[in-house]
Each structure stands twice: as structure tokens, then as C-alpha cells.
Amino acid sequence: MPFCVKDYIPQSRLVKNNRTNKTYSTISFTTMQLPCFNVFKEMFYTLNVKIVPNNIYELLTPKGLAFWIMDDGSRHGSGLHISVYAFSNED
């Protein structure tokens, strides 16, 4: 089942990192709002508030963590920072 509209063309562009002076290529796309994605909304939202499910250790695979780091992560000294600002402190 396709998740993008028919004949959708992903957007490709070059992005320059001003801090490192390196240029990276990016590809972005937008998915349709489909019922098959509702299961994820039900897992990560309660009364329209974003939460971390109790079984996150079962849901978050090493590959999923890698994607999260590549999307919302950054190097922080000798460590790693992952943006989780949409979650509560308890989550």
C-alpha cells in the first residue's frame, strides 16, 4: 500500500552546515493521513497529549533509535543529545 499520494515526487536538496562548512544531501516526503497510522497515534497520545508508552523498550528497536538520533539527535561534547521536548518530564 502506498503511503504517499500517487505520482508524489520526494523533495531532494542540499543543505550546508555552517558550523562544519560541510554540505549534505537531504530527501523529504510527506505521507497521507491513513487509518493504518492510527495504531501509532493511539500508542503515543492520550487525550491528545504526547506520551511515552510503558512498553517503549519493546517498541523502540536499535534501528528505530538510530532513525530517531538521525532525525532529532545531535552530538553534545563526547555524548549524544536527543530532543524529547514534546514529552513530559515523567515520560
Tell me, yes or no, if the pTM score tops 0.75: no
pLDDT at 76: 87
Who contacts 37 (Cβ-Cβ below 8 Å, separation ≥6)? 31
pLDDT at 1: 55
Convert the chain into a string of H (helix), E (strand) and C (coil): CCCCCCCCCCEEEEEEECCCCEEEEEEECCCCCCHHHHHHHHHHEECCEECCCCCHHHHCCHHHHHHHHHHHEEEECCEEEECCCCCCCCC
Is residue 84 predicted with pLDDT exceeding 90? no
- For the stretch 14-64, pLDDT in tens is 999 898 999 999 888 888 999 999 998 999 999 988 899 999 999 999 999
In the chain, what are the domain boundaries?
A: 11-82
Tell me which DSSP letter residue 47 carries: T
